[in-house]
């Protein structure tokens, strides 16, 4: 594992670039643990100061040090994306593998549920969810909601792979040798679909962060928990761009763009680690 | 020695589908009876779609709907214990599989999971049946691989790193590592070139002799049967049409279909053009009345169109034909 990662870093530029970008972002998020301010402190510094040595990213119109505030925001955003991705991956794997392997009535029932989720328009539902929840809206609830909406495409993808695996000789041999359905799914089929899952995990994190930012910018989330979107929301509320406080918008956007590109590059290059065939192809000089 | 290891009696297995209101019944295996003695290689031959794979799937009880067994029994005899394979519970079935009965599937090159190391396939498929400490099992597997002239390091390889012949040998190793008394092999050498094929066949023979097990060996390649099988059964359109010792069968084929099969084999010094058999195997969803071979048979007469011939004959050379040639007198 460690060796492979080193190899990937050395020989795969996409992976190296993605890893560096993500490490910077994650490192920055970790700084939040050393912040001198609580995340919701306001009016603790002079407002509207441009970036300089004391305040490397300037201060906001609400008198917050943007550097430390942003470290909280990116941490929450990353955790949000991760939570959505993990939970929706679990759903997608479970439903995709079971539907593809079982076939028949189970498959039909699960896939009609799946297709229902595919055709549901996400954005109006999430806005509606906000209006229903209002003050009870929280970070975790939103993550749960988005995970429940975000598994359907990938479940279909995994199902299609599982269907083809179902009829391979090694599956038949596994059945013949008396492995249970659970063992076959977990031990024989899961390693096969993992590259797809890894790749879609990255994309799913991107998707959920993007949607969260969109909702927050419009004010449809819990605006008291700093996330990248919430930061931009407050910047807009204080008409930051009009009054020339460009850094209040620029740094959050820069960070989220770095996250996106980093995750995308990792998703693309991750396959090389997971799939033994392309891994060996790469090793050969 | 005691009785046969495997006794199949009156086995009837049909594919039954009912989709969009259309019922179809494909009679892939119809009234097949055969037995396999201990320490014997029983060859099963026949052209494609003659029901060979279906027959052994039902024998191994490794089939799913729409294939159904309608009649007949498949009884194994392992160390004096009788196992009627279609009436066993799932757990009993799992207990005899691999340890007593193993199955080399058709397309045996693909039996190994492409994303798992060979070692994992050994553990997943075979270790569960042997049990005991894992290092001991891996030692056993290494020794067994060596017996098949494979490097023990192969355990750490992925299947795509091996050649087709190596993969087939690994599959054979996997099927024989638990030293089963009965091995079902479904065209284990079909995709190989003749040189590798010869090696693999020799290996199967070697392992069979070393373990003293019986093999039910299926292939459409008569030349392979001539080299390997002790006894041979010829299938046509879901029925066994002739059965006997391989040498007898090749010297004196009594069924016209067998005669054609053997006549089609190339022989050294024979430059006469080979005659093909006109027509195609029947559609098993709608097989012809009477003997299923009669539309293509040069000896067909009235009775062949009306009645089904039964497999009969003395001294182990049985044939299902009304116009069978006489048994050779040894």
Q: Is A169 on the interface with B (CB under 8 A)?
A: yes
The residue assigned the tokens 């679909």 is A193
Q: B58 in helix, strand or coil?
A: helix
Q: Is A174 on the interface with B (CB under 8 A)?
A: yes
Mean pLDDT, chain B, whole residue set? 83
Residues of B in contact with A192 (CB under 8 A): 113-115
Q: Residue A213 has which token pair? A: 């930012």
Per-residue pLDDT averaged across B79-101, rounded? 82
CA angle B45, B49, B52 (to 5 degrees): 40
Q: How far is CA B319 from the centre of its chain?
A: 19
Q: B294 in helix, strand or coil?
A: helix
Q: B215 in helix, strand or coil?
A: strand
Give per-residue pLDDT as tens, A174-188.
888 888 888 888 888
CATH number, domain of A247, equals 1.10.3720.10
pLDDT of residue B164: 80
Q: Does A164 fall in a domain?
A: yes
Cβ atoms of residues B235 and B220 within 8 Å: no
Q: How far apart are CA B304 and CA A213, in angstroms?
A: 80
CA distances from B242 to A53, B19, B198, B325 (A): 95, 36, 26, 12
Say yes or no to pLDDT of A258 above 80: yes
Cβ atoms of residues A101 and A184 within 8 Å: yes
Q: Is A186 on the interface with B (CB under 8 A)?
A: no
Residue count of chain B, please give it: 330
pLDDT of residue B106: 77
CA distances from A237 to A62, A218, A223 (A): 11, 10, 12
Nearest chain B Cα distance for residue A25, angstroms: 33
Q: Residue A131 has which token pair? A: 């209006």
Among the partner-chain residues A177, A191, A192, the one whose CB lies closest to the CB of B125 is A177
CA distances from B20 to B17, B23, B26 (A): 10, 8, 17
Q: Does A276 fall in a domain?
A: yes
Q: Is A178 on the interface with B (CB under 8 A)?
A: yes
Nearest chain B Cα distance for residue A277, angstroms: 7
| pLDDT confidence bin for B329, thresholds 50/70/90 | low
Q: Does A46 fall in a domain?
A: no
Among the partner-chain residues B62, B94, B126, the one whose CB lies closest to the CB of A172 is B62
Give per-residue pLDDT as tens, B40-52.
899 998 888 888 8
Per-residue pLDDT averaged across B298-303, rounded? 82
Size of interface A-B (CB pairs under 8 A): 67
pLDDT of residue B239: 87
Nearest chain B Cα distance for residue A174, angstroms: 6
Q: Give the chain B residue nearest A168 (alpha carbons).
A: B110
CA angle B9, B13, B19 (to 5 degrees): 165
Classify A91 in phi/psi space as left (phi over 0), alpha (psi -120 to 50) or beta.
alpha
- CB–CB of A173 and B105 under 8 A? yes
Number of domains in chain A: 1
Q: How far apart are CA B50 and CA A111, in angstroms?
A: 37
Strand order in the sheet with B22-36: B22-36, B6-19, B67-78, B81-84
Among the partner-chain residues A178, A187, A280, the one whose CB lies closest to the CB of B97 is A178
ipTM over 0.90: no
Q: Does A50 fall in a domain?
A: no
Which residues neighbour B135 within 8 Å (Cβ) at sequence distance 6 or greater?
A: none
Torsion, CA B124, CA B130, CA B131, CA B134, rounded to 10 = -70
Q: Print the domain residue range for A150.
A: 2-15+57-283
The residue assigned the tokens 């995970």 is A147
Nearest chain A Cα distance for residue B150, angstroms: 21
Residues of B in contact with A174 (CB under 8 A): 124-125
Nearest to B15 by CA among B30, B2, B25, B4: B25
Best probe of the B interface among A105, A162, A167, A178, by most B CBs < 10 A, is A178
Which residues neighbour B201 within 8 Å (Cβ) at sequence distance 6 or greater?
A: B189, B224, B227, B228
Nearest to B51 by CA among B222, B230, B292: B292
Q: How far apart are CA A23 and CA A262, in angstroms?
A: 9
Give per-residue pLDDT as tens, A116-131.
998 988 888 888 888 8
Say yes or no to pLDDT of B113 above 60: yes
Greatest CA separation for chain B: 66
Q: Is A281 on the interface with B (CB under 8 A)?
A: no
Element of type H or E holding B236: strand B231-236
Q: How far apart are CA A120 and CA A141, in angstroms?
A: 19
Q: How far is CA A120 from the centre of its chain?
A: 21
Q: How far apart are CA B55 and CA B92, in angstroms?
A: 21
CA distances from B53 to A89, A99, A232, B67, B255 (A): 39, 28, 66, 12, 22
Say yes or no to pLDDT of B152 above 80: yes
Measured over the CA atoms of residue B192, residue B197, residue B201 and residue B204, the dihedral's sign is: negative
pLDDT of residue A111: 93
Per-residue pLDDT averaged across A166-178, rounded? 84
Say yes or no to pLDDT of B1 above 60: no
Q: Does A148 fall in a domain?
A: yes
Nearest chain B Cα distance for residue A76, angstroms: 36
Q: How far is CA A189 from the centre of its chain?
A: 24
Q: Give the chain A residue nearest B118 (alpha carbons).
A: A170
Neighbours of A6 (CB within 10 A): 10
Residues of B in contact with A280 (CB under 8 A): 158, 161
pLDDT of residue B330: 46
Q: How far apart are CA A233 and CA A222, in angstroms?
A: 11
pLDDT of residue A273: 65
Q: Does A246 fall in a domain?
A: yes
Q: Does A220 fall in a domain?
A: yes
Give per-residue pLDDT as tens, A37-70.
888 888 888 888 888 888 888 888 888 888 999 9
Q: How far apart are CA B112 and CA B159, in angstroms?
A: 6
Say yes or no to pLDDT of A197 above 50: yes
- CB–CB of A177 and B126 under 8 A? yes
Which residues neighbour A240 within 8 Å (Cβ) at sequence distance 6 or greater?
A: A60, A61, A246, A248, A249
Q: What is the pTM of this model?
A: 0.75
Q: Does A78 fall in a domain?
A: yes
CA distances from A69 to A49, A254, B195, B317 (A): 14, 15, 72, 91
């Amino acid at each position: 594992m460690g060796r492979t990662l080193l190899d990937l870093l050395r020989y795969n530029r996409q992976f190296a670039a993605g890893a560096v970008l993500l490490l910077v972002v994650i490192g920055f998020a970790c700084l939040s643990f050393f912040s001198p301010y609580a995340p919701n402190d306001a009016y603790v510094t002079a407002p509207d100061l441009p970036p300089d040595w004391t305040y490397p990213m300037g201060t906001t119109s609400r008198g917050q040090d943007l550097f430390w505030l942003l470290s909280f925001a990116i941490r929450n955003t990353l955790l949000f994306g991760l939570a959505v991705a993990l939970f929706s991956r679990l759903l997608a794997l479970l439903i995709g593998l079971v539907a593809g392997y079982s076939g028949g009535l189970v498959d039909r029932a699960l896939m009609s549920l799946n297709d229902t989720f595919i055709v549901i328009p996400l954005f109006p539902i999430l806005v509606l969810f906000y209006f229903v929840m209002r003050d009870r809206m929280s970070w975790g609830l939103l993550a749960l909601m988005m995970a429940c909406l975000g598994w359907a495409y990938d479940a279909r993808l995994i199902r299609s792979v599982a269907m083809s695996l179902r009829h391979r000789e090694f599956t038949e041999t596994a059945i013949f040798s008396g492995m249970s359905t659970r063992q076959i799914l977990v031990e024989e089929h899961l390693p096969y679909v993992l590259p797809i899952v890894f790749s879609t995990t990255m994309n799913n994190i991107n998707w959920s962060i993007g949607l969260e930012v969109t909702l927050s910018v419009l004010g449809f989330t819990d605006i008291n928990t700093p996330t990248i979107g919430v930061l931009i929301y407050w910047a807009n509320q204080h008409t930051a761009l009009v009054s020339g406080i460009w850094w209040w918008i620029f740094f959050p956007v820069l960070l989220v763009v770095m996250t996106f590109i980093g995750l995308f590059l990792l998703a693309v290059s991750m396959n090389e680690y997971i799939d033994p065939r392309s891994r060996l192809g790469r090793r050969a000089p | 020695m005691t009785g046969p290891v495997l006794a199949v009696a009156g086995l009837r297995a049909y594919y039954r589908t009912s989709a969009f209101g259309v019922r179809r019944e494909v009679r892939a295996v119809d009234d097949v009876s055969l037995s396999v003695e201990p320490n014997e290689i029983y060859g099963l031959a026949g052209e494609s779609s003659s029901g060979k794979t279906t027959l052994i799937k039902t024998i191994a009880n490794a089939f799913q709907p729409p294939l159904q067994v309608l009649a007949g029994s498949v009884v194994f005899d392992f160390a004096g214990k009788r196992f009627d394979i279609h009436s066993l519970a799932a757990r009993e079935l799992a207990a005899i599989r691999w340890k007593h009965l193993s199955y080399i599937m058709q397309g045996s090159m693909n039996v190994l999971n492409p994303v798992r190391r060979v070692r994992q396939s050994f553990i997943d498929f075979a270790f569960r049946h042997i049990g005991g400490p894992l290092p001991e099992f891996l030692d056993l597997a290494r020794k067994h691989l060596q017996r098949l002239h494979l490097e023990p390091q192969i355990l750490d390889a992925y299947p795509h790193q091996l050649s087709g012949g190596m993969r087939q040998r690994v599959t054979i190793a996997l099927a024989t590592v638990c030293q089963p008394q009965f091995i079902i092999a479904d065209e284990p050498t079909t995709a190989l070139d003749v040189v590798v094929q010869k090696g693999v066949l020799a290996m199967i023979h070697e392992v069979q002799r070393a373990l003293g097990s019986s093999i039910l060996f299926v292939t459409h390649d008569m030349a392979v049967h001539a080299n390997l099988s002790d006894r041979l059964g010829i299938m046509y359109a879901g029925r066994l049409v002739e059965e006997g010792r391989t040498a007898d069968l090749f010297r004196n084929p009594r069924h016209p279909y067998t005669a054609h099969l053997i006549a089609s084999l190339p022989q050294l010094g024979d430059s006469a053009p080979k005659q093909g058999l006109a027509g195609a195997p029947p559609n098993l969803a709608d097989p012809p009345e009477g003997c299923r071979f009669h539309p293509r048979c040069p000896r067909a007469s009235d009775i062949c169109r009306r009645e089904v011939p039964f497999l009969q004959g003395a001294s182990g050379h049985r044939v299902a034909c009304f116009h069978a040639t006489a048994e050779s007198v040894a």
